[in-house]
Chain A
Amino acid sequence: MTSVIMLVGVLIPITPVGPYLGFTPLPPLYCLLLALTLFAYMLLTQGVKTWLIRRAWL
């Protein structure tokens, strides 16, 4: 389910619906940086979560 939604999210800007909702296609470099961002985000959240659990706050 999450992958479907993520795919929709990535595709919306380049579909015909895109301009209607005020979107514009994104440059290729963006995709690379986005992937980096997502990876870093997951690492950070996982780290914070583990830290919270270790401190018995969860």
Chain B
Amino acid sequence: MKDEQRRPVRWGRPNGTLGLPKGIFAALRRQQPPIRVAPILVEAASLTSEATYQRLRSRPSGLTRDEAESRLAEQGPNVVAADGRKGVGLLLWHAVINPLVVLLAVLATISFATGDARAGIVMSPMIVLGVGLRLIQESRADTTAAKLKAMISVTAAVLRDGQPQELPVTVLVPGDVVKLAAGDMIPADVRIVAAKDLFVIQGSLTGESFPVEKFETDTGPTGRSPVELANIAFMGTRVESGTAMAVVVATGRETYLGSMAESLAAQSTQTAFDKGVLRFTWLMLRFIIVMVPLVFFINGLTKGNWHDAFFFAVAVAVGLTPEMLPMIVTVCLSKGAMAMARKKVIVKRINAIQNLGAMDVLCTDKTGTLTQDHVILGSHCDVVRKPDPGVLALAYLNSQFQTGLKSLLDRAVLAHAQKAHHHPHMPDYAKVDEIPFDFERRIMSVVVRTPEGKDRIISKGAPEAIFPRCKNFELDGVLSPMEDARIDELRREYEQLSRDGFRVLAIASKDVAPSGEPRYGRDDEKDLILNGYLAFLDPPKDTAAAAIRALEQHGVSVKVVTGDNDLVARKVCSEVGLSVEHVLLGAQIDGMTDDELADAAERTTLFARVSPAHKQRIIHALQSRKHTVGFMGDGINDAPALRAADVGISVDTAVDIAKESADMILLEKSLLVLEEGVLEGRKVFANILKYIGMGASSSFGNMFSVLGASVFVPYLPMLPIQILTNNLLYDVSQTAIPTDEVDAEEIAKPRPWDMGSLAKFILFIGPCSSVFDYTTFLMMLFVFKAWPVEKAPLFQTGWFVESLLTQTLIIHVIRTRKIPFLQSRAS
């Protein structure tokens, strides 16, 4: 069975900051499996119910227990992903298997092996300090992530041996017949075989705020996206209302959701920051590889003592190794993580903090992140879009009296009317009858007895369904006939509402004299009077506009990427203050090459009707243009994008898979915390860069000094043990860096990893220290007459003190762009 070959889906990315093996594995990495719908699902969609049963070797009464057991053994459990927490051993391995640590360990071993125990003793604390601190931080982060992933056990109503029973969803197999009711999670990818008013919320897959209808029909293969198949419901979506019988077609990893989870596991993206740190590490290693043999041979040849030359070279190697880098990076990041935790942001992958600071583009999903994911009645108006309390009163009666499951929209009407106190005095009205919703009419009606003793039919439905049943429309209390010429005008009015991003329902009514028989049917839904419209929307969060403004002020441009339609998305964008000048649709993206998409993505602020794969492509396109991209989303459809982004952000209300895929989770509704996080990230980055700038430039400078001194001085310019002591003391002084203050100017704009300016910094600042090393050499040699070999300790001590003092003092100059001590002070 092919599943056995697949590695378990890993939740949470490796935290490798300097992961050497990551680079190696990246090359071996498999092609990323595409996000796909099982072919059998598409096939089932085009078959009749009977043929679907046949195809799945099942029947309306469900599978027998034996059949189910053998299929379970064959197919595996219906789980999307296995939990794979890293053990301490693996974490230790990640912390140790780092080029710097390995180098240091090798050098320490050599020192011990060759009898230079003192050198070994000085090196050991460097290793322990670096690895230990990192290990503690990472295992803490991993535990937090595991706690977050508390799996909820879910059951489904399954027919086995013809009997309905509640079974855990994990034991479902293809062919099982399940019963779906309002509130149920869809337990697998299923083909609907019988449905009554079934509405499914698949926003977590598609990003749509509104429920979609699913019904038993043979749609046949369509050119449309698979999630739009009307007789298929997908795992991970939820039943909003209605009931249905469905047959399970695909389970576990074969499901759409499963394929998405798999595509997530396959990508372990290395961020710009990871790459930058890695490049820096290798740069330093190259320095060492060139320098150390050179130093060895020069000292061996000039002094003739190869044994001393060897230890001197080893010590120089240790001196050049930025062994504190992993520690500094980890401590800086976890300090940032703790600061974020105080602001109610859980940071799951601490590397992401730095990326949050470097981020210059934030792509965000709409539903649930920018918006409240809570549909409200935005407006109730007459046929020319003038607010009309009469329409709300009718809608209220309709929603209040209907006995079916109250839909999202019904609840929005009731909530709005109760809040506005615009509802009729209920005891005045008595319910007479109800004509429930069905997919043929696509409207529903309630009949009430008015205080005047008339029976009032109140119908509600999509305008296209209501219009043909209307004879007149009402405007300012005057009835006018629905003539063809007028219908176009009326249509333009409600289409304007749709264009404004509202979901529109029409309300129509008529009064009839009560007949003796209080039975009303669909034949009575005719010759109605069109009263007006209800317009629904999913409003933006209160803090969304302010947060977007704050981000843009700090140099982060915000783009909306949503599966919802562009009309709804435009509305939200304009409400939160985003330009909608450049809009791109999913279908347009399909026709673009990656390069064209990258060009377009730079300008576009709104991407609508996009699939999960599109979201991923958009992020890669932006990344190809050297942007550090953040993605904020809460749905299953956001998960691949959350993984692809340099920093994936989710919210507490998000679906599990989105939370799993995210790097950080906002626990509070307010989006303002984003801006604070960005600033926190920039502080972390500035401090890490300080270390790198200092470490690299002083190493570069020392390189010149060591070479020069080796050539001109008749003895070792510094004893190996002195170099190591110098190094250890310098390391200790650097442990203060993570807690250092950062000048406000440094965090005003995103600071991407810029190897060029780093190189220039090293190239120019490094030699400055060499200049004064040389003046010290001259001073020791000529002022203090240190030429003879017996005066070596004087020379060595002189250089040791000068070297250590210049290195530590220069921290103050490098840590700020301003004048040290006077304008900017260290912590």
A21, A29, A46, A52: residue with the most chain B Cβ atoms closer than 10 Å: A21
Q: Tally A residues with Cβ within 8 Å of B.
A: 36
**B760: which of A29, A46, A58 is its contact (CB, 8 Å)?**
A58
Tier of interface size on chain B: 35 or more
Output the least CB separation between B538 and chain A (Å): 45
Report if B429 contacts A (CB, 8 A). Answer: no
Residues from chain B with a CB closer than 8 A to the CB of A1 are 732-733, 735-736
* Stretch from B195-203, B415-423, B623-631, B798-806 at the A interface: B798-806
Report if B784 contacts A (CB, 8 A). Answer: yes
Output the least CB separation between B322 and chain A (Å): 17
A29 to B786, CA, bound (A): 14
Residues from chain A with a CB closer than 8 A to the CB of B765 are 45, 48-49, 52
Report if B721 contacts A (CB, 8 A). Answer: yes
Residues from chain B with a CB closer than 8 A to the CB of A38 are 805-806, 809
As a 0/1 sequence over residues 11 to 43 of chain A, the CB contacts with chain B under 8 angstroms (1 = contact) are 011000010011111110110011001101110
A49 to B730, CA, bound (A): 22
* Stretch from B274-282, B333-341, B766-774 at the A interface: B766-774
Minimum CB distance partner of B812 in chain A: A2
Residues from chain A with a CB closer than 8 A to the CB of B812 are 2, 42
A49 to B729, CA, bound (A): 25
Residues from chain A with a CB closer than 8 A to the CB of B798 are 26, 30
Are A26 and B794 closer than 8 Å at their CB atoms?
A: yes
Known A33-B783, A45-B813, A57-B760; contact A21-B772, beta-carbon cutoff 8 A: no
Are B722 and A22 closer than 8 Å at their CB atoms?
A: yes
Are B768 and A58 closer than 8 Å at their CB atoms?
A: no
A42 to B733, CA, bound (A): 18
Output the least CB separation between A39 and chain B (Å): 10
Output the least CB separation between B100 and chain A (Å): 21
Are B802 and A21 closer than 8 Å at their CB atoms?
A: no
Residues from chain A with a CB closer than 8 A to the CB of B805 are 6, 9-10, 34, 38
Residues from chain A with a CB closer than 8 A to the CB of B811 are 2
Residues from chain B with a CB closer than 8 A to the CB of A46 are 813, 819-820
Known A26-B801, A42-B810, A52-B761; contact A5-B817, beta-carbon cutoff 8 A: no
Are B769 and A41 closer than 8 Å at their CB atoms?
A: yes
Residues from chain B with a CB closer than 8 A to the CB of A49 are 765, 813-814, 817
**B801: which of A10, A44, A57 is its contact (CB, 8 Å)?**
A10
Minimum CB distance partner of B779 in chain A: A33
Minimum CB distance partner of B796 in chain A: A22
Report if B797 contacts A (CB, 8 A). Answer: yes
Are B808 and A6 closer than 8 Å at their CB atoms?
A: yes
Output the least CB separation between A58 and chain B (Å): 5
Output the least CB separation between B596 and chain A (Å): 32
Residues from chain B with a CB closer than 8 A to the CB of A52 are 760-761, 764-765
A38 to B805, CA, bound (A): 8
A11 to B812, CA, bound (A): 21
Are B757 and A41 closer than 8 Å at their CB atoms?
A: no
A1, A18, A42: residue with the most chain B Cβ atoms closer than 10 Å: A1
Instruction: Please list the residues of chain A having a beta carbon within 8 angstroms of any beta carbon in chain B.
Output: 1-2, 4-6, 8-10, 12-13, 18, 21-27, 29-30, 33-34, 37-38, 40-42, 44-46, 48-49, 52-53, 57-58
* 21 A–B pairs (Cβ distance < 8 Å), ordered by A: A2-B736, A2-B812, A5-B804, A6-B805, A9-B801, A21-B719, A21-B721, A23-B796, A23-B800, A24-B797, A29-B783, A30-B784, A37-B776, A37-B779, A41-B768, A41-B769, A45-B813, A45-B814, A48-B765, A48-B768, A58-B757
Taking A25-B797, A26-B797 as given, write out 14 further A-B residue pairs in contact, using a Cβ cutoff of 8 Å, ordered by the A residue number: A2-B809, A2-B811, A2-B826, A5-B730, A10-B805, A12-B800, A22-B719, A33-B779, A34-B805, A41-B768, A41-B772, A42-B812, A42-B820, A44-B771
Instruction: Please list the residues of chain B having a beta carbon within 8 angstroms of any beta carbon in chain A.
Output: 719, 721-722, 725-726, 729-730, 732-733, 735-736, 757, 760-761, 764-765, 768-769, 771-772, 775-776, 779, 783-784, 793-794, 796-798, 800-802, 804-806, 808-814, 817, 819-820, 826
- A-B residue pairs, 8 tightest by C-beta: A1-B736, A9-B804, A24-B793, A5-B733, A22-B719, A2-B808, A23-B797, A41-B772
